[in-house]
A and B are shown apart, each in its own frame.
Chain A
């Protein structure tokens, strides 16, 4: 069974940093692209970043480029999202997801809440 478990969320001040982790199990992590997707307080979904299977290719939504970094450890089966220079509008539940098919995500984690507030 595919399992994705996020951790690392919390309350942070504007301008601060957080590192999210996503522990993956139940599938060949090293063979799958992975994504971070967030859901803001209003409920809308926003794709944040993708990383290819070997970690050499990354893609970001414009609003996080230069501030967020997606990475992975294919030995530890863990996906990461380093978030710097956090803004109020980054407040959301952040979920990792497996991209098991092209142009899609087929499994989501439960998410971890990031709150940016002074």
Chain B
């Protein structure tokens, strides 16, 4: 199975400051068809996960543009340009290139 490793596992950020979460996969996420199926999800306290980013860098409808995804191959990053109070929660990366789909451990973001 593809192992997804996130870092850091916890992040304390000052309001208005940037934040960055790394996600590394144990093997390339480039599919045989050429797509790279790396996703980012946000889970706010008490809520179901919500997808923010799919296929590395495509932002979902309604997701603020302060969220951005980048990367390739085995190395990916989620960036929040200016953290706001509503961004508190746990962020997960997930690969959908190889069966079984696998998630990272999650990164808890809190406000300093």
How many residues of B are in contact with the other chain, CB < 8 A? 26
Interchain CB contact under 8 A, A106 and B60: yes
The SS class assigned to the B binding surface is: loop
1/0 per residue, CB under 8 A from B, across A91-118: the answer is 0000100000111111111110000000
1/0 per residue, CB under 8 A from A, across B87-103: the answer is 00010101111011111
Residues of chain A within 8 A of B50, CB atoms compared? 108
Residues of chain A within 8 A of B99, CB atoms compared? 59
Interchain CB contact under 8 A, B103 and A103: no
Residues of chain A within 8 A of B39, CB atoms compared? 103-105
Chain B residues proximal to chain A, CB less than 8 Å: 1, 31, 35, 37, 39, 41, 48-51, 54-55, 60, 90, 92, 94-97, 99-103, 105-106
Q: What are 21 of the A-B contact pairs (CB < 8 Å)?
A: A44-B103, A44-B106, A45-B41, A45-B49, A45-B94, A45-B106, A46-B103, A47-B94, A47-B102, A47-B103, A59-B100, A60-B100, A95-B48, A101-B54, A103-B31, A104-B54, A104-B96, A106-B51, A106-B54, A106-B60, A109-B48
